[in-house]
Structures are given as structure tokens and as C-alpha cells.
Chains A and B, each alone.
Chain A
Amino acid sequence: MKDGVCNITFGGIGGQGTLTASEVCGWAAMFAGFHVKKSEVHGMAQRGGSVESHLRFGRKVFSPLVSSGQGDFLVCFHEEEHERLKTFLKPGGVDLFEWLAKGQSEIKDPRHINTYLVGVLSSYLPFDTDCWMKALEKVLKKKILEENKQVFIEARQASKK
């Protein structure tokens, strides 16, 4: 974390839940007491185009954008987007891409893949489980909350092994 700021880049294509994933992490960071800035794209991107969201948290955050080569984490839901966004990672940064295929084979409902990757990411970040649960409650609809909490907990444990 450069100057105590953590940089995460999320990428996917419209409809994969990329923004929901970054939203959950954003709320969790806020609940953990950090200053948060998270940028995203709306509008045209909803139509199957590239979706990219940058999340930065720390004591004090200026730019809402992660600079190229400064990313601590990269969370991608699509191979082409992963290819495109790799440049954001700093040397030694954590790329969660290998977890995508693993998650896809483990989860029952393919719509839970974003929660799965958030669960994996969670084991690297300094927030209590309580913050994550509150974040999931804040962002997800009641109807799908419990199933997603389950996926999150499983992924969080799997990545700690």
C-alpha cells in the first residue's frame, strides 16, 4: 500500500456484476473506517461494453483512479478484460484471475461469481467479517442475500488455505 492507500481494479463486461463487486468492497472499506474513493462507468457500458471500476481506500485518498502499474489487486471477470487491465497491477501485485475458473467450477449459480471473487479478495484485506456482512446487506437485494453470504464465506475460507 503506497502511502497507506490500497488500489484495486475490477474489470468485466456489462452484466457480469463487476460494479456490484466493487460496491460491496467499497462499503466494507467504509465500515472498516477508511476514506474511500471508487470510480465507475455508467451509460453506454451497460450495453455489453467494457466495465471497469477502480477502488482506492486508506487514511486519505486523492485520485479516484488507480494509476497504471500501481494496483495492489486485480479482480477480473472476463479474459479479454483481464488482458487489457493487467497493466494496472504493480510488480508483486495480486492477480485473482486464476480464481475465476476455480470459482466457476465450484459455485452452483453462475450469477454468484462476483460474490465468490469478493470472498477471495476479502482474505487479503484488513476488514473484519462483520464489515463484509454489513456491506453485503447494504448492496444486495434481500431475496439473494443469504445465498450470496454463503458463497462469500466459502470463498473467503478457500482463499485462506
Chain B
Amino acid sequence: MAKQNKTNQLLLSGNEALAYGAWEAGLKVACAYPGTPSTEILETLAKFSEIDAQWSVNEKVAFEVAVGAAIGGVRSLFACKHVGLNVAMDPLMTASYTGVSGGFVVVVCDDPGMHSSQNEQDTRWVSIYSKLPMLEPSNPAEAREFVKEAFKISEKYDTPVLLRMTTRISHTKEDVVIDERVLPEQPEFTKNPAKYVMVPGHAYNRHIFVEKRLKELKKLSERTKFNKIEKGSGKIGFITSSVAYHYAKEIFPDASYLKIGMSYPFCDEKIKQFAKSVKKVYVIEELDPFLEEHIKALGVKFIAKDPSYQIGELSPELIDEITKGKVKKEVRTAKRKPRMCPGCPHWFTFSTLKKNNFFVAGDIGCYTLACLPPLEALHSCLCMGAGVTFHEGLKRGAKDGSKIVGVLGDSTFVHSGITGLINAVYNKAKGVIFILDNSTTAMTGGQQHPATGLTIRNELTKQLDLEAICRACGADNVDVIDPTNREEFEQIVQKRINSDELSVIISRHPCKLLKR
């Protein structure tokens, strides 16, 4: 039948294939905070002893360590989920100005359909906003190929390169052939304040550079094989990108295609040339009208999806409906909802909180599932760290704040709860914050973090002492208690909720899924 099986051929997910590609490209430093669907990128990279891989405290920290390594001279990579990039936006926007020395790739995994996320943002817009080039692989084999090219582009054009994946690409497995690792030559590390000290005078000159760089990148976008015209036999043509390309190929195998693999800067000339070569043009993309709005501005006539399809994932069936001009039907499926595992320590904590009829300001983690029946004991979830800060705001704003408490997990507290706690102390807030300490980053599959005392490779490191840091932040009371001791737990909760102080209750019991 098909091709011969090769020994270096593996069945890899998009995340794994990307990691292998980065390894082949000589990647040296990689940083991330776990987040579905991006987590397996760092988990795979950590298996290569040649790579200095780390779980960082949060995405901003991860980004800064990784870009520092690139400026130090090696190839480095930062990986995150879409909302993780929001946390790293501050360094991202200015790293666009400083540029790099060794290659630097920013991998961002969007989650159309929100399989495991709090929103459905389309990160392609960040490329325009940050004036950075963006590559978009459409399958695992391309993830490997594109990341290798991304490092070359980064070094040649002195720029961080955005590489956008989606859940469907990150978590699709495909047969991929792996090559050898090749180390690039490492540039000299020298002082260069005009490039790396972003004070207004220097930054002005770097902005001039950024605009020039964009023009050069636009030329690259016109000639790169990643923006590829495939001549079909039919009269219709599709301008499409990412996994939507494969869905369209499934339904219209004979059509012509302009497959966009470098989504920014746009390849205007190629788009116009392609549009002229076919009778009817469809622009098909998942989520926002990113290509659509730009192509409209070029004056090219085309047919696009009804805005109702901007919500959720696409599929081959939906491509068929889109081309028939239909509006999206909302189909409710009888999918089983996830729930907290049997014996999960969160059940104990939340049964007490529910009994007391608290308003629970929640956060991101397994415990967010406490919002679902039968518990229905969690009442807000905004972003990482908000269990502390949103709680403070609610108490300041609500008519009667006496029944409001905040909860967040151990990993989430280290990610971005500590600054909120300092803020609460500094601004004399009162109340009770629960740190649900199950000693792992559970929702993403059980990754280490500073308070577990182990690194990404399960090597011993200094363990962050949660009690000590809460005290050092200035909390009036810090209790550590196992929520499965129900009576004792209830007593502490009563004592702290009825005092006019700022209390942290560390509800500590390990996750049931932890390997012992």
C-alpha cells in the first residue's frame, strides 16, 4: 500500500511533533506554565536532556526567561495557551522592539470550541497588534516543519516569531518522520543598550526598525512556500488556513486552494493573483474574520461564512453548510460533563462551603467544576489569581459581603495569587481565602510547581513554603488543615469567617490522581 515504514517515524500529537521539530532545530531553553491544549509541548521537550526545560511560575515569567535566553544567544521557546499569552503580553509587546539574538519562538495554542478554557479568543489578532510574524501549521507534520523554519526567520529578521496552533492540531496525532538534531552557531553575547534598553529614545529607533522589518517580512510572506497555491480542476477556490484547510479539502478535493501558513504579514499579491485565477472565492477560517477583513480591504470579492460560525470549532460538515450559505444551527449534544473525581479532596472543602451558603469567588482549576450540580458551590471564575482579587472587589462592592469567600488552587496561588494577597493586606481587606492545596497542577494532568518541591523533570528543588509566604504577605491568620477532617475544618471556617481579619485557610490533601 502506501509508503514504507521508517525507523524514525513516530505517531505524534501536534504538540509532540512541534517539540521534536524544535529539538531538531537545536533548541536550548524552553519555558511554560501548564495550560490545555499546550501542556505536552514542554512535557515532551523535558524528555530531551540537551534542552534546559522549566515549568515557570507563570506565563509572564516564562516568556521573560525564554526571551532572555535568546538574547543570551541560544535558540529558545516559550509555549502557552491563548489566555496564557494574555499574561505575557507586557514582555511580548516590547520584545517585538528589542528583537533577539538566538532564535525565539512564541508558541500559542488557541482553543476553538473551548474544550478546556474560559474564552475563545483568536490570537491571530496579536500578530497585527505586536507587529510580529505568525506561522500557522495545519497538522502535526507541519508543526514540526514550521517550528524549524520559525527559528530561522527569527534569527534572520531579528524578531520573535509567533506560531499559532489550535486544540485540533495540538491534540491530533499523525505519523511524522524525525530528523537529526543540528546545533546552530551561537552568536557572541555583547552589550547593546540601543537594542536592549528600551527607554524612549532607544525605543523610538527600534520602532523605526520594527516598521522596516514588517516590510521585509511582507516580502517573505509573498514568496514563502508556507503560503501555497494548489491548482485544482474546479472553478471554485478557497483561501483558508489552519485545520480549516483540511476540512475544506475533505469536502472539496478538486477545488483550488490558497493555503495560508504564514498568516501575518498578509501576502496581498498572492491573494489577488489567486482570486483572479478562479471564478468564485471562499474565505474559510475558524473563529474571527481575520483573513476576511483584510482581504475585504484589498478589494477582492469573496464569499465568507455567516458570522454565526465565528463561535465554536469548524468541521467538514460545517464547511459544507457554510458554502451552502446556511446559518449555524446550535446543536446541543448529550455529552457527559466532567466532574471532580470520586474521593477528590475538593468535595470535602466545597461541601462545607455549600453548607454555609457562602458566595465563593472561584478561580481556574479542577475546583472550578464545583460550579456544576450537585455542588453548585462556586459562583465566579474569571482568570488565574482572581480567587483572591475578585474576592476583594466583591467584598468592597457587595451590599453584604459577610458571606463572600475566595478559593484558588496551590499552583494558581503561586501563578498569580501572591500579588493579590499582598494587595489585600496592604489595602486592609478582610475575609477568608482558601488555598485548595492538592499539591499539584491537577486540571492539566498533574504538573509540578514551586510548592511541590520538584522540577519539570521531577528533580528535587527548594520547596516554596505556602504557610510562610502567606504570613510574609501579612495575612492575619494562616491555618493549615485537612478538609477530610470535617469537624475540625468546619470549626476553623466558623472561627475565621466570624472574625474581622484577613485569613488564609490552606485546605491541604493530595490529589487522588497523584502517582505515589
Contact = CB atoms under 8 A, between A and B. Distances in A.
A68 B315 CA distance: 10
Interface in B141-171: 168, 171
A80 B2 contact: no
A67 B338 contact: no
A59 B2 contact: yes
A45 B340 CA distance: 11
Interface string A1-38: 00100000000011000000001001100111111111
B249 A38 contact: no
A39 B172 contact: yes
Contact of B11 (A27, A50, A58): A27
Interface residues of A, number: 40
B338 A37 contact: no
B256 interface: no
A83 B293 CA distance: 41
A34 B335 CA distance: 31
Given A35-B2, A64-B243, A84 B335 contact: yes
A137 B407 CA distance: 43
B336 A68 contact: no
Residue from the set A14, A39, A49 with the largest chain B CB neighbour count within 10 Å = A39
Contacts of B139: 37, 64
B369 interface: yes
- Classify the interface of chain B: helix, strand, loop or mixed: loop
Contacts of B338: 14, 44-49
A95 interface: no
A141 interface: no
Contact of B316 (A37, A43, A63): A63
Interface in A42-78: 42-50, 58-59, 62-65, 67-68
Given A43-B115, A80-B336, A63 B246 contact: yes
A34 B2 contact: yes
B11 A48 contact: no
A114 B96 CA distance: 49
Contacts of B116: 42-44
B34 to A, nearest CB: 10
B246 A62 contact: yes
Contacts of B115: 41-45
A40 interface: yes
B232 interface: no
Contacts of A84: 333-335
Contacts of A65: 168, 247, 315-316
Residue from the set A13, A37, A126 with the largest chain B CB neighbour count within 10 Å = A37
Contact of B1 (A34, A47, A64): A34
Contacts of B168: 39, 64-65
A72 to B, nearest CB: 15
Nearest to A12: B336
15 contacts: A23-B11, A26-B173, A35-B3, A39-B168, A42-B116, A43-B37, A43-B115, A44-B443, A47-B338, A47-B340, A49-B339, A62-B250, A63-B247, A64-B172, A64-B246
Given A38-B11, A38-B173, A49-B335, 12 more contacts: A13-B336, A26-B11, A34-B175, A35-B3, A37-B139, A37-B174, A38-B172, A45-B115, A63-B246, A67-B316, A68-B317, A80-B334
A-B interface, 10 closest residue pairs, ranked by CB to CB distance from nearest: A43-B116, A49-B338, A43-B36, A47-B338, A64-B172, A62-B249, A62-B246, A63-B250, A44-B338, A50-B335
